[in-house]
Amino acid sequence: MINIQDMRDTARGLLTKKEVRAVIGYRRSTNGMLAEPVVITDPAQADELIWDPTCFHNLSLYLVEDRKFLTHVRKTADAPIAIVAKGCDARSIVVLMQEHYFERKDVYIIGMSCEGSGVLDERKLAAKGIRATDAAFDGDDFVFATAQGEQRIAAREVMADRCLECREPFPKEHNAVLGENKTGRELNAPFTALHRFEELDAGARWKFWEHQFERCIRCFACRSVCPMCYCEECVVDSISFPVTGQTSAEEKANRVRWIERSATRPENMTYHMTRVLHLAGRCIDCNECERVCPVNIPLRLLNNKMEREAREEFGYEPGASIGGPSLTASFLDTDPGKFIR
Amino acid sequence: MPDNIYLPELARIAHIKEEISGERAIKTYRVEPVNGGGFEHNCGQCAMLSIFGRGEMMISIASSPLITEYKQFSVMRVGRVSAAFHELDVGDVIGIRGPYGNSFPVDDWRGKNLVFIGGGVGLAPIWPVITTAVAQRADFKNISVFYGARSPRDLMYKAELERLRGDADIQLSVDKAEEGWKEFCGFVPANVLDKKPSPNNTIAITCGPPIMIKFVIQNLQQLGFADEQIYTTIENKMKCGLGKCGRCNVGKDYVCTKGPVYSWAQLKQLPEEY
Amino acid sequence: MEKILGKTKIDDWVAALSDHPQEVGRGCKAAEAATTTHWQVSAPVLEDGIWSYQSGSGSVQLEHSNTTQPPKGFSFPQREVFFSFEQIKGEPPKLTQKLPQATRHAVFGVRPCDGCGAVRMDKVFSDHVADTYYTARRSNVAYVGLACNQPQGINCFCLSVGGSPVSSDGMDVLMTDLGDRYFVAAVTDTGKALMAAGNSVFSEPTAADRKQLQQTHAEAIAQPQRAINNLDAAPAKLKASFDSPLWEELARACIGCGVCTFLCPTCHCFDINDENTSATPIKGNRVRTWDNCQFPDFTMHTSGHNPRESLGSRLRQRVSHKFQYFHENFGMPQCTGCGRCITECSVGIDIVNVVNKVAEHAG
């Protein structure tokens, strides 16, 4: 069991000794029982930090934001930035470092082991009709405070699917780590949800996705929350096209609009297909995209599909090691497929 | 207003004049209604011009309301639609809707001195006021026009400005000296300070790059101009022109309906969101 | 007109509306067509884990918590084609208007915050000049509201923004759940006509029904909610806080997505683009789509200059628009307290918290 105080002490110590310039962590939000991301710079704020089953967010997104901000204001950091990271979050930090988005020395990882459980899936809890005001880890259980008093539920009943299938709930890459390493405790076999979906025939699957992409409202929450979607210029829309005083009229005029603003099925489908391909070998299954989707499009199925292909065809595990190869930028003689030879 | 506020009328390009060439070329277009349509406008108002397949852009109407046969627009080549505009030939048909926005209170200025201060393509939005005042010359006292650009090649409406001499005091300037240049050398605000127009019974109207406007206003204040005597126009990104699409606001005001013309007294009340 | 409708009879009313040729209308051009047009009834349905308005099931069950998306799309769809164009070089372009088809929608189960939302949308799209497309659609939409006996979620705050869980603002009919039956009250002439179409499915309310209605409404209003602390002071406080560093701090976690605005019952910002379907000759549609003040390019000039470049300035725009600018222009807050932007924000940006904090810091 992780003692929250240990995490707070770690953060406080780092800030007090000025070993880091800020700590990215979780605090209680004003939206019910949920945690929210917070960036603290004052050691006194360390007591705001929390650790509970609603700490779903992959905070490595804010490492990307931090880097973008520093570039924008043309500054270099005088100290690393610390981040509270679960096993999955730590893997995404590794991917970002593999891609040289920042260096190892730029980040201080306060690893949090998910130990025997993982994080909550709010929708599963809602489906049980439970309205909780607080959530806490307790061994293999989650304990919820409700109007009817304390309610204890086996974590696996309301845990996010990705946590049930997680192969590495312990943040291997870390500077400090809290909690036990219970790697190998996966509750469901990997890709369980995907296998279940693939029992449908191709026609049914196509129909399913047609229906899902019809529903997309293109709020771009999936892309905005994704730490891997850091491109300054995104191929799928116009909202992040970086224009400066030096951008010529030609560049603006000739920029191809691959995808129109209209949230129609073909446009939405192209958007999501492009995105999932760009995430192949990079997505570490934090599943933030699916969690934040306001209309519940099951995006994890798409990302999982790519992850499984990479694993089965190339033996590739995303985010395994900083110095390791990246899926799409490396080639082995043993790679399947003859097209490249 | 037409039945469908988003449906442009068709208009034909009647005349094109290349003002300035280069990276940020400027061309001036005369546009005539195709099917006997068209609309009246006031000095300072804008219109939404369409190139079908490319989109729309909001441009100041650069001709005097006294001219009813055509409307004039000076377009700098900076973006997606303006680049397509620069490919047009005489006879091509575009879309136009408007007029949008408020206007310069020209009627309130009769009997006064007018000082116009323009920089670069910023001469276009105030050109309707200049030409209207000159056309109704007896209604106004002294008219002076300060206009400058980076170099002599970057000055627009050169011939037209020359024709105004006699009716108006024309003060040209360029940022960098060049051989043969006989007029003021330096930034527009400096030229204003150099010539010291009197604030007595005078209205100053300025338009140009934001940085120029900022220093023009400072210098006018130094010369004794009150905030109510200074007028300018502002711009923001626009899509509808009708106060609905929500992006051109400065505080509570949508620039497309409440602007683009503001006195400095009004503008300084608004947050700096432009 | 006030009636009682047994819960088991709601589908009979829906059937009557769907079959009954309507002669009501708000005086739009579609009025001639209206005589042969039936109402298409939409109501909240739970599908894919969310409540959304859907039509055609023939069965209406009003057991929903509020829908994930407000009903604004009936009058202001996410995509509206203005006209199509065809441009052959050297020839005048051909434009074909695409005015909305006059389908008449009766939307059931609209919650009072969303009814109030419609009032605000109507103001935006009729102010200055009437919006052609919005007006055409809106005149064919009727809202059959359902009072909230209980707050629909933990982030409801309608009472503190001038609304009420039993408000009939923006509704054509307001229904109140009285257990085994609804108290149904017409609010507009359209509402009266909707009820008249149902005719015999309704019965007259008794004194006991009216007493229960009063009691239900009183209890609904007494339910605890979250609150904007001082609505009347908000415009001045926000105005004084334009340059406050608090905005960047409050927006620190913001990811700049479109959830808060796309799900808002009163957000109306849009983009207009030419979407081409053919290159030679140039053919395509001029299309209006929802846009979002939280996207970075929303206000970006062609030059690259952006008056609202930072996340803080964009949060300030969203919140100030709701609680200051709209108030200055229309004398009411634009926010109706539905709480969607709070509930659905993935990183905890909370408009109630933001307004209260900014006001507190303004002193």
Mean pLDDT across the stretch B131-157? Answer: 96
The span from the CA of C2 to the CA of A106, in Å, is 68
What per-residue confidence (pLDDT) applies to A244?
A: 77
Mean pLDDT across the stretch C22-33? Answer: 44
pTM score over 0.90: yes
User: What's the pLDDT tens digit per position in C90-142?
Assistant: 789 999 999 998 789 999 999 999 999 999 999 999 998 999 999 999 999 99
Neighbours of chain C (3+ CB pairs under 8 A): A, B
User: What's the pLDDT tens digit per position in A31-48?
Assistant: 999 999 999 999 999 999
The span from the CA of A184 to the CA of A46, in Å, is 32
User: What's the pLDDT tens digit per position in A271-307?
Assistant: 999 999 999 999 999 999 999 999 999 999 999 999 9
What per-residue confidence (pLDDT) applies to C30?
A: 44
CA A158 to chain centre: 19
The span from the CA of B235 to the CA of B9, in Å, is 24
Provide the pLDDT confidence category of residue A240 given band limits of 50, 70 and 90. Answer: low
| B226 close to B70: Cβ distance less than 8 angstroms | no
Mean pLDDT across the stretch B223-227? Answer: 97
Strands, E assignment, chain C? 2-6, 39-47, 50-55, 79-87, 94-97, 104-110, 141-146, 173-177, 181-186, 202-203, 270-278, 282-290
Distances (CA, A) of A166 to A93, A159, A289: 17, 11, 17
pLDDT above 60: residue C28: no
State the complex-level ipTM: 0.94
Per the structure block, which two tokens stand in for B61?
Answer: 């109407």
| C258 interaction partners in chain A (CB closer than 8 Å) | 217-221
| B216 close to B187: Cβ distance less than 8 angstroms | no
Residue C97 to residue B4, Cβ atoms within 8 A: yes
Cα of C196 to nearest chain A Cα, Å: 35
Cα of C265 to nearest chain A Cα, Å: 15
pLDDT above 90: residue B240: yes
| C84 close to C99: Cβ distance less than 8 angstroms | no
What per-residue confidence (pLDDT) applies to A340?
A: 63
Mean pLDDT across the stretch A226-251? Answer: 80
Chain C residue at shortest CA distance from A61 = C255
The span from the CA of B42 to the CA of B59, in Å, is 14
Query: What residues pair up with B27 in beta bridges, in sequence order?
Result: B18, B75
User: What's the pLDDT tens digit per position in B88-121?
Assistant: 999 999 999 999 999 999 999 999 999 999 999 9
Tell me the average pLDDT of chain C: 93
Residue B77 to residue A252, Cβ atoms within 8 A: no
| Domains in chain B: ranges and CATH | 9-100 (2.40.30.10), 106-233 (3.40.50.80)
Mean pLDDT across the stretch B135-140? Answer: 96
What per-residue confidence (pLDDT) applies to C116?
A: 98
Q: Which residues contact C215 (CB under 8 A, 6 or more apart)?
A: none
pLDDT above 70 covers a percentage of chain B that reads 100
- B46-51 and B93-100 as β-strands: parallel, antiparallel, unpaired? antiparallel
The span from the CA of A292 to the CA of A309, in Å, is 25
pLDDT above 70: residue A76: yes
Which helix or strand (DSSP H or E) is residue C236 part of? helix C234-240
User: What's the pLDDT tens digit per position in C214-264?
Assistant: 999 999 999 999 999 999 999 999 999 999 999 999 999 999 999 999 999
Q: C279 — contact with chain A (CB < 8 Å)?
A: no
Provide the pLDDT confidence category of residue A328 given band limits of 50, 70 and 90. Answer: confident
Checking phi first, is residue A150 left (phi over 0); if not, alpha (psi -120 to 50) or beta? beta
- A31-35, B49-53, C14-18, C314-318: the lowest-pLDDT one: C14-18
| B82 interaction partners in chain A (CB closer than 8 Å) | 249
pLDDT above 80: residue C33: no
Cα of C222 to nearest chain A Cα, Å: 18
Tell me the average pLDDT of chain B: 95
Neighbours of chain A (3+ CB pairs under 8 A): B, C
Provide the pLDDT confidence category of residue A263 given band limits of 50, 70 and 90. Answer: very high
Interface of A with B in 251-280 (CB under 8 A): 252-253, 255
User: What's the pLDDT tens digit per position in A44-68?
Assistant: 999 999 999 999 999 999 999 999 9
Give the type of residue at A319: G
Residue C272 to residue B78, Cβ atoms within 8 A: no
Chain A residue at shortest CA distance from B55 = A253
Residue C288 to residue B243, Cβ atoms within 8 A: no
Residue A253 to residue B23, Cβ atoms within 8 A: no
Tell me the average pLDDT of chain A: 92
What per-residue confidence (pLDDT) applies to C225?
A: 97
- A196-200, A294-298, C27-31: the lowest-pLDDT one: C27-31
Q: Which residues contact A196 (CB under 8 A, 6 or more apart)?
A: none
pLDDT above 90: residue C21: no
**Minimal Cβ distance to C284: which of B53, B93, B257:** B53
Cα of A209 to nearest chain B Cα, Å: 31
Mean pLDDT: which of A190-194, A251-255, C85-89, C219-223 is highest?
Answer: C219-223
Chain C residue at shortest CA distance from B83 = C302
Nearest to C294 by CA among C329, C330, C319, C328: C319
Mean pLDDT across the stretch B144-170? Answer: 95
pLDDT above 80: residue C37: no
Interface of A with B in 189-248 (CB under 8 A): 248
What per-residue confidence (pLDDT) applies to A239?
A: 55
The span from the CA of A55 to the CA of C7, in Å, is 42
- A322-326, B12-16, C47-51, C65-69: the lowest-pLDDT one: A322-326
| B34 interaction partners in chain C (CB closer than 8 Å) | 92
User: What's the pLDDT tens digit per position in C138-168?
Assistant: 999 999 999 999 999 999 999 999 999 999 9
The span from the CA of B267 to the CA of A297, in Å, is 46
| A252 interaction partners in chain B (CB closer than 8 Å) | 78-80, 83
The span from the CA of C315 to the CA of C354, in Å, is 9
User: What's the pLDDT tens digit per position in C197-227?
Assistant: 988 899 999 999 999 999 999 999 999 999 9
Distances (CA, A) of C46 to A265, B231, B241, C211: 21, 57, 39, 33
Chain A residue at shortest CA distance from B23 = A248
**Minimal Cβ distance to C307: which of B244, B245, B273:** B273
pLDDT above 90 covers a percentage of chain B that reads 92
| C136 close to C100: Cβ distance less than 8 angstroms | yes
**Helix segments in chain A, DSSP class H:** 4-16, 60-72, 87-98, 122-127, 155-158, 161-164, 192-198, 202-215, 221-225, 249-254, 265-279, 288-292, 299-314
pLDDT above 90: residue C340: yes
Q: Which is it for the CA torsion B18, B19, B22, B25, positive or negative?
A: negative
Mean pLDDT across the stretch C294-320? Answer: 93
